[in-house]
Chains A and B, each alone.
Chain A
Amino acid sequence: MDIQSQDKSQVRLKGVKEGFYVTLDPTLPQVFLEEELTRLFNQLQHLASNSRVILDIGETQNRQDVVESLTAFLKNKYHVKSVSAPQREQQMTEDKPRKLDMPGNWHQHHTDALIIAGRVRSGQKISAKKHLVILGDVNPGSEIIAGGDILIMGNLGGTALAGQPDNEDAIILAIGFKPIQIQIGGIIAAGLPTSSAHTIEFAHVENQGIIVENYIKANPFGRLTWPVVR
């Protein structure tokens, strides 16, 4: 059972819009990889020929030799049309953000952000799939949960859980930052010192701990060169 599940995770194939997406671990022996590819591509039968294959070897660098030999193997045996590397977001070229910066380009962008107005009272619970924006106060005793960021345009007095279940890049921002407890991803900050500062503050994760800072002074997104979708 163990071996089987291990096998599954080592060479995987799924159908995508452009063709087939193959994920594998290039550190495994060549013979094993070829065996696995044979097993998977035999199941595809005639669909394999003339198809586009995207070969994802993960984050491992400098294994171009593996990619080349497997490309040759697939082309010879199954007559696939092309084998290419997956487009990575990190490899986004300079052109793409420039295009994004042009006005009107985000018209097609859909977001799961929940934006609500009003006061959240004690005992009330609001949960959002992604980002949560509340125009109004969040009273002590209430609970707000989001898959992404939590932005409160008012006083935050309740419990705020951002980045649920495991997004530690999320932030919690409030104009009046006085929460009872906050949680970002799996990191909990209970018993926060009550700050009386009348400034916009935000909480974020740094070195596995939650840090609350003045938003204007820290300016966490000021160093991003281009506006990006969060």
Chain B
Amino acid sequence: MAGGSLKRCALEGKIIVITSGKGGVGKTTATASIGAALALEGKQVAVVDMDIGLRNLDVVMGLENRIVFNIVDAVKGKCKIKQAAIKDRRIENLYLIPASQSDNKDILNPEAMVRFCKELRKEFDYVLLDCPAGIERGFENSVAPADEAVVICTPEISSVRDADRVIGLLYARSITPKLIVNRIVPEMVEKGDMLSHEDVVEVLSIELLGLVEMDSQVIISTNTGVPLVLQKESSAGQAFRRIAMRLNGQKNLPIEIPQSSKSFWKRVGQKIGIGK
């Protein structure tokens, strides 16, 4: 991404699009969690809901009742960025720019988004764009201003297929995407009932940013609006914190592979010579 870094001066923020192609793989959860984790690292972060007409990043973050202005108002110049960006209640430096619920994706266009993100760069260190599912207008709008891309994929064939398509489209726009494999169930992988992250990485062959285990805390967090990354016992939350650290430049942080507690004891048993 030589071109991307050239056009940005050193003090300006990075625009990262979080995309997947397929719906329901955890883009919104990932955006909220990575955004929160980056803010906890002390960065100024804006998370932007690009799913115009079907917004839900605000609900996941528990900020639904504070929306006055939205991204469409901000892009069209009806309000200032500061007015549209809602400050998170719990985490310092984290802001949400919500989508409009009453419009559709055609109200924005890639050129307007590039202009808008140029403004956002000046205010924030990281801008995370929560891309809608699909590869149509909403995708175009989200990808046009992005410097980097994170592709979320679950260990299912349909999700891998769509992620593959999206990766092709990102490469076509000279963006090198990074991969997060979400919702891994270690017990199923061990039994061979689920694709392992190696299988997914083999097909997609892009840099792996992190592996996230299936975690019921995600649903609790979504319902209560408490950020996942603040829950110490949530494996997914901790995985997203490590992903945020890697995004923030800690390239050497090792990738932890989710393992079932059963397999842990099995391995201990093997070490000390009991069991098969």
Q: Which residues of A contact B (CB under 8 A)?
A: 119, 121-124, 137, 139-141, 157
Q: Shortest Cβ distance from A155 into chain B, in angstroms? A: 8
Contacts of B162 in A (CB 8 A): 122
Contacts of A140 in B (CB 8 A): 157, 161, 164, 203
B165 at the interface (CB under 8 A from A): yes
Q: Give the nearest-CB partner of B167 in chain A.
A: A121
Q: Of residues 162 to 176 in B, which have CB atoms within 8 Å of A's CB atoms? A: 162, 164-165, 167-169, 171
Q: Which residues of B contact A (CB under 8 A)?
A: 157, 161-162, 164-165, 167-169, 171, 203, 205
CB pair A141–B165 under 8 Å, yes or no, is yes
Q: Shortest Cβ distance from A20 into chain B, in angstroms? A: 52
Nearest 9 interchain pairs by C-beta:
A121-B168, A122-B164, A122-B165, A123-B165, A121-B164, A141-B161, A139-B164, A122-B161, A124-B168
Contacts of A141 in B (CB 8 A): 161, 164-165
Q: List 17 A-B contacts (CB under 8 A).
A: A121-B165, A121-B168, A121-B171, A122-B161, A122-B164, A122-B165, A122-B168, A123-B164, A123-B168, A137-B203, A139-B203, A140-B157, A140-B161, A140-B203, A141-B161, A141-B164, A141-B165
Q: Shortest Cβ distance from B87 into chain A, in angstroms? A: 40
What is the CA–CA distance of A124 and B167 in the complex, to the nearest angstrom?
11
Q: Shortest Cβ distance from B271 into chain A, in angstroms? A: 31
Listed residue (A121, A137, A140, A141) with the most chain B CB atoms within 10 angstroms of its CB: A121
What is the CA–CA distance of A137 and B167 in the complex, to the nearest angstrom?
15
A-B contact count (CB 8 A): 28
Listed residue (B157, B167, B168) with the most chain A CB atoms within 10 angstroms of its CB: B168
Listed residue (B164, B165, B203) with the most chain A CB atoms within 10 angstroms of its CB: B164
Q: Shortest Cβ distance from B168 into chain A, in angstroms? A: 4
Q: Shortest Cβ distance from B177 into chain A, in angstroms? A: 11
Contacts of B164 in A (CB 8 A): 121-123, 139-141
CB pair A119–B205 under 8 Å, yes or no, is yes
Contacts of B169 in A (CB 8 A): 123
Contacts of A137 in B (CB 8 A): 203, 205
Contacts of B161 in A (CB 8 A): 122, 140-141
Listed residue (B161, B169, B171) with the most chain A CB atoms within 10 angstroms of its CB: B161
What is the CA–CA distance of A141 and B166 in the complex, to the nearest angstrom?
12
Q: Give the nearest-CB partner of B169 in chain A.
A: A123
Contacts of B203 in A (CB 8 A): 137, 139-140, 157
Q: Shortest Cβ distance from A186 into chain B, in angstroms? A: 28
What is the CA–CA distance of A121 and B162 in the complex, to the nearest angstrom?
10
Listed residue (A122, A141, A157) with the most chain B CB atoms within 10 angstroms of its CB: A122
Contacts of A124 in B (CB 8 A): 168
What is the CA–CA distance of A124 and B164 in the complex, to the nearest angstrom?
10
Q: Shortest Cβ distance from A27 into chain B, in angstroms? A: 57
What is the CA–CA distance of A140 and B158 in the complex, to the nearest angstrom?
10
Q: Shortest Cβ distance from A196 into chain B, in angstroms? A: 12
Q: Shortest Cβ distance from A156 into chain B, in angstroms? A: 13
Inter-chain pairs besides A123-B165, A141-B164, 8 sampled, C-beta below 8 Å: A121-B165, A121-B167, A121-B171, A122-B164, A137-B205, A140-B157, A140-B203, A141-B165
Q: Shortest Cβ distance from B210 into chain A, in angstroms? A: 22
What is the CA–CA distance of A141 and B164 in the complex, to the nearest angstrom?
9
Contacts of A139 in B (CB 8 A): 164, 203
Q: Shortest Cβ distance from A137 into chain B, in angstroms? A: 8
What is the CA–CA distance of A123 and B163 in the complex, to the nearest angstrom?
11
Contacts of B205 in A (CB 8 A): 119, 137
What is the CA–CA distance of A121 and B161 in the complex, to the nearest angstrom?
9
Q: Shortest Cβ distance from A106 into chain B, in angstroms? A: 35
What is the CA–CA distance of A139 and B203 in the complex, to the nearest angstrom?
7
Contacts of A122 in B (CB 8 A): 161-162, 164-165, 168
Contacts of A123 in B (CB 8 A): 164-165, 168-169
Contacts of B171 in A (CB 8 A): 121
What is the CA–CA distance of A122 and B203 in the complex, to the nearest angstrom?
10
